[in-house]
Structure 1
Amino acid sequence: MTVYEKTADKGGILLVHPLGYAPEKADKDISRKANIMPPLGLISIAAVLDQKGVPNKVIDCHCLPDSLALILSYVKEYEPEFIGFSCTTSSFLDGVRTAEQVKEIKPDIGVVFGGPHVSALRETLISRFKVIDYLVVGEGETAIYELITSEKKKIPQIPGIVYRDDFGQAQFTGFRKKLIELDSLPFPAYRKLPGYPKAYKLPIFNYPKVPNASLISSRGCPYACSYCDRSVFRRTFRYNSSEYLYAHMEYMHKEFGIRHINFYDDQFTFNRKRIAAFCELMIRKNPGMTFNCAARAEHLDLDLLKLMKAAGCWMISLGVETGDPDLLARHRQNPDLDMLREKILLIKTAGIRVKALLMMGLPGESETSIRKSKKYVFSLPIDDFNLAKFTPFPGSPIYDQIKTPGSDLGRFDEDWEKMDCMDFIFIPKGMTKVRLDEQFIHFYKSHFTRPRVLAGYVSMAWKSPDSWRRMLQDLPDFLMFANKNKRM
């Protein structure tokens, strides 16, 4: 018997979260082991299908050895009518290769792809990759249920689907006008993930307690920054009510013993009233849990921050992106670094940790802008930071600008499998990859060798003891990763 329990149900759909890179690459790259997030979108779809009585299984290739063998054996034994892949840009081609092997075993299986890469490129993908039968554009719960339970002749009437017509031409049925009321959704089917929650890990020093988990309580973002892909939810913004949100956290605590939640919402505090009500519930009912969130500085004030602290908020991540005001103005709405500094000071006043999220390599980046960014970031009282290598994803405004014929923004090597923010695949005009890599390593080393920062990480020995346990356990991998980057 495999890690998946036997079931009498055959047919239905197998839902797959592809790996996107060779398994041995993860073993050698500490950055891929340090943050493993469950496929929340897939297990939300699985929960809806369970509710409607549709047989389904979930295979997360990120957490299972020999996941391809598991997929193929499941298809042979249970003969699902469909197989669905939820893909980012970097994992899309891995999904295609898996689908091709599945088709060799069961040629009549319906192959469905969804996710941000699919929603951005739509008809282009189904025209290019013949193994794909259908694409789901936008959120998947309703669309995929209607797709796999409808007669083939009715598929053109289902919004949110890309399919081939009788002449083999790609057709898009249009965006869904009726969006899902998020409070109507069941909680995601966490139990379909073997090893949950221990198989999934938040970044080290980003949590106080274990076990911990990830949760998303809203969909979309009302802003339109140049680097963000908004193809799945477009410019909509919806969220769970405070009551649903608290009930979800309480469920995770009771069912799985979760003690800390990381909210992956783009804009957790956008609706102040919702978060204030949620915090009041947390304070009054005291479930013994803490949480992290991401927010925009515009939607924070001291009273709310004090309330969040009392409710168990441990850390807030803020998108700084760059400390060069001119570069920031090219890519972000409301680019106010002075306001950002003020809000970071308020977060610290409330007693909450701050994590700064930055990018290097945006169009317009230069040696001067990198120096300005370092100077600005190192002047802030931040506790942690993440520096990503800018990647122009399909669906983002800057992707279209870079791809415009005659664009002189820089050189773009559009290799989808490398588009995971782990490599500089876009080189801004006037820069070189070698120099970007050098500056990237120097930025990180400069941050982590500052006395105040080092003291902060030492304090994690009692604030986040599990983080230090993981650090020591993987110390050889950390040192190998550091030495590899030192030679770049």
Structure 2
Amino acid sequence: MQKIFFIQPPRYKGKIFHAEPLLPRCAGIPAKASYLQPPIGLAYTAAYIMRERNVAAQIIDAQAEDLTLEETAEKAKDADFVIISASLPAIESNLELCKQIKTLNKDIKIGLIGTYASFFHKKLIKNSAIDFVVRGEPEIPLVNILDFFNEKRFDLSGLTLKHNGKIIVGPKAKLIENLDSLPFAARELLNYKKYYDILIKGKKLDFVISARGCPFRCNFCAARAYSKKYRARSAGNVLSEVREIQEEFGHDDITFFDDTFTINKRRILEICEGLKGLSINWRCLSRVDTVDREMLEKMYAAGCYQIKFGVESGSQRMLDRMGKGIKLSDVKKVFKICNEIGIETVAFFILGYPGETKRSAEKTIRFAEILDADFASFNLFTPLPGSPVFPNFEHLDEWSLYDFGSFSFCSIPTEELKEIATKAYKRFYLRPAYAYGRIKKMGFRRFLVQNIKFWLMREGVLAEKIFGKR
């Protein structure tokens, strides 16, 4: 039986790249990540491959295991196929990992998957350690590549690969229309003891992807790079996976990890009805123009305790430039409803989008202060490959430019923009009204425990003694 290893690469520059701290960096000192989430996308993909072909799959989460590049390569050297989830700005580190694996075993077939691998496939395939790159959603192309190298089938849809000294770019793969036909994530391949989030309400976290594609057209976002067509699993199918998570794995806190969970109101209400009797705490990502009071009340009654909203800016001019398609008045209205119902809110903001000025950045900070969100995250704009705005930056052909938060792409100098972001965190989280509001909503005990955990994580060594090595 062939072995296929899926790899979440090691930390980039010592950081848990996909799990930046959400809580305040008020002192201007980088904090240890307040959460580390499982690579659930790899678990879904592995489940599909194991179902479709007779292979033994394994997931190596180098971030959760705190592995170096060398240690990760050593763990992967006995595989027949290695699939690496590539990301920016860590792509050079990802390529070094491929090189080290290939040095240990030249016969391993190594492939890259992910949004950025898809976008840069023609450049990445030229690397001597890369045998193939998957473009778009990975399930069908990975089955195709297994069959190709095993000389069973010659369908190269969704693949860019090397063969007989030539580079072959296969046709675009068809989308999987019926997501209910896909298996649930292979959670048995993940070590859930390694994953944590100090903000969850339950005791054991998990993630569910219930839909794919995005119908919205935000200029800064690469969500549509994979698929512009929105496809969703049925409510019954989603609920079946939730019950499996609860009954077989004992997890009681779920994040619905769709780009926008609340697109289809009827589906959400059906899911909420099914969740009522399961005693599951859950949260999701949403947009303010896809929810209303009825939906929010039913979500809360079904166990939803937190919603993360992309607010992006406190300047309507900047929102319009971003193509966000929302009004600041709608943001205020939805956050007010959530506060009245009792749902925690997280507001994500972007600073430094092209056209940003000191005045518009100040508007964003002020808007965050009056919005009365439970948490706010201020992120510096980075042009993402596959996003509508990216063609304006394609001439900047350097991986280092995608080191999130390291460069300014507006008229504000980089260091000054970083100072504005730090100021935003301080002004939002160090308000007396903020602490009072949090205690009032969540109770003093939970507020105290949550903040003690966060500050201990800042101390690093003490945190590891108490919570174990992360």
Q: TM-score, normalising length from structure 2?
A: 0.88
Tell me how far 1:310 sits from its aligned partner: 0.6
2:312 and 2:350 in contact (8 A); partners too = yes
Partner of 1:130: 128
Partner of 1:229: 222
Q: Which runs of 4+ in 1 moved over 6 A?
A: 24-29, 152-155
- Inter-CA distance 437–479: structure 2 relative to 1 (3 Å threshold): farther
| Distance in 2 (alpha carbons) for counterparts of 1:377 and 1:479 | 32
- Inter-CA distance 123–193: structure 2 relative to 1 (3 Å threshold): same
Partner of 2:330: 339
Partner of 2:341: 350
CA distances 1:79-98 after superposition (whole Å, capped 9, x unpaired) = 32211101111232222111
Partner of 2:36: 36
Give the paired residue count: 451
Partner of 2:248: 255
User: How do 1:209-358 and structure 2 match up within 5 A?
Assistant: 209-230=202-223, 232-283=225-276, 286-358=277-349
- Inter-CA distance 432–24: structure 2 relative to 1 (3 Å threshold): closer
- Inter-CA distance 326–159: structure 2 relative to 1 (3 Å threshold): same
Partner residue of 2:365 out of 357, 374, 378: 374
Tell me how far 1:398 sits from its aligned partner: 1.4
Partner of 1:46: 46
Q: 2:335 is paired with a residue of what secondary structure?
A: helix
Partner of 1:409: none
| Distance in 2 (alpha carbons) for counterparts of 1:221 and 1:313 | 22
| Distance in 1 (alpha carbons) for counterparts of 2:414 and 2:402 | 15
Tell me how far 1:184 sits from its aligned partner: 1.5
| Distance in 2 (alpha carbons) for counterparts of 1:323 and 1:266 | 21
Tell me how far 1:214 sits from its aligned partner: 2.2
| Distance in 1 (alpha carbons) for counterparts of 2:248 and 2:267 | 25
Tell me how far 1:70 sits from its aligned partner: 4.7
User: How do 1:182-197 and structure 2 match up within 5 A?
Assistant: 182-194=179-191, 196=192
1:220 and 1:235 in contact (8 A); partners too = yes
Please tell me the residue identity of whatever aligns with 2:194.
A
Tell me how far 1:17 sits from its aligned partner: 0.9
Tell me how far 1:153 sits from its aligned partner: 6.6
| Distance in 2 (alpha carbons) for counterparts of 1:88 and 1:66 | 17
- Inter-CA distance 312–24: structure 2 relative to 1 (3 Å threshold): closer
Partner of 1:426: 408
CA distances 1:398-443 after superposition (whole Å, capped 9, x unpaired) = 1211335xxxxxxx69434x7353x232331x21112111111111
Partner of 1:448: 429
Greater CA drift, 157-166 or 55-64: 157-166
Q: 2:119 is paired with a residue of what secondary structure?
A: helix
| Distance in 2 (alpha carbons) for counterparts of 1:119 and 1:163 | 12
Partner of 2:26: none
| Distance in 2 (alpha carbons) for counterparts of 1:30 and 1:455 | 25
- Inter-CA distance 161–234: structure 2 relative to 1 (3 Å threshold): same
Structure 1 residues without counterparts, runs of 5 or longer: 1-8, 405-411, 481-488
| Distance in 2 (alpha carbons) for counterparts of 1:380 and 1:277 | 30
| Distance in 2 (alpha carbons) for counterparts of 1:476 and 1:153 | 54
Q: 2:325 is paired with a residue of what secondary structure?
A: coil
Greater CA drift, 222-231 or 262-271: 222-231
- Inter-CA distance 471–32: structure 2 relative to 1 (3 Å threshold): closer
Partner of 1:112: 111
Tell me how far 1:300 sits from its aligned partner: 0.7
Partner residue of 1:171 out of 164, 168, 184: 168
2:213 and 2:224 in contact (8 A); partners too = no
User: How do 1:389-468 and structure 2 match up within 5 A?
Assistant: 389-403=380-394, 414-416=398-400, 419=402, 421=404, 423-428=405-410, 430-458=411-439, 459=442, 461-463=444-446, 467-468=450-451
Please tell me the residue identity of whatever aligns with 2:58.
K
Partner of 2:194: 199
Tell me how far 1:392 sits from its aligned partner: 0.9
Please tell me the residue identity of whatever aligns with 2:275.
M
**Percent identity of the aligned residues?**
25
Matched, 1:161 2:159: yes
Q: 1:281 is paired with a residue of what secondary structure?
A: helix
Superposition RMSD in Å? 2.7
| Distance in 1 (alpha carbons) for counterparts of 2:255 and 2:291 | 18
2:46 and 2:57 in contact (8 A); partners too = yes
Please tell me the residue identity of whatever aligns with 1:41.
G
Q: 1:158 is paired with a residue of what secondary structure?
A: coil
Q: 1:379 is paired with a residue of what secondary structure?
A: helix
CA distances 1:425-470 after superposition (whole Å, capped 9, x unpaired) = 2331x21112111111111000011122112444464346753452
Q: 1:157 is paired with a residue of what secondary structure?
A: coil
Q: 1:183 is paired with a residue of what secondary structure?
A: helix
- Inter-CA distance 292–371: structure 2 relative to 1 (3 Å threshold): same
Tell me how far 1:291 sits from its aligned partner: 0.7
Partner of 2:83: 84
| Distance in 2 (alpha carbons) for counterparts of 1:236 and 1:157 | 23
Partner of 1:483: none
Please tell me the residue identity of whatever aligns with 1:108.
D
Q: 1:55 is paired with a residue of what secondary structure?
A: strand
CA distances 1:137-167 after superposition (whole Å, capped 9, x unpaired) = 1111221122113347777632100113545
2:10 and 2:66 in contact (8 A); partners too = no
2:311 and 2:348 in contact (8 A); partners too = yes
1:20 and 1:90 in contact (8 A); partners too = no
| Distance in 1 (alpha carbons) for counterparts of 2:225 and 2:3 | 24
Q: 1:150 is paired with a residue of what secondary structure?
A: helix
Q: TM-score, normalising length from structure 1?
A: 0.85
Tell me how far 1:213 sits from its aligned partner: 2.0
Structure 2 residues without counterparts, runs of 5 or longer: 22-28, 464-470
2:382 and 2:409 in contact (8 A); partners too = no
| Distance in 2 (alpha carbons) for counterparts of 1:338 and 1:433 | 31
Q: 1:445 is paired with a residue of what secondary structure?
A: helix
- Inter-CA distance 213–420: structure 2 relative to 1 (3 Å threshold): farther
Tell me how far 1:75 sits from its aligned partner: 4.3
Matched, 1:65 2:58: no
- Inter-CA distance 155–226: structure 2 relative to 1 (3 Å threshold): farther
- Inter-CA distance 374–72: structure 2 relative to 1 (3 Å threshold): closer
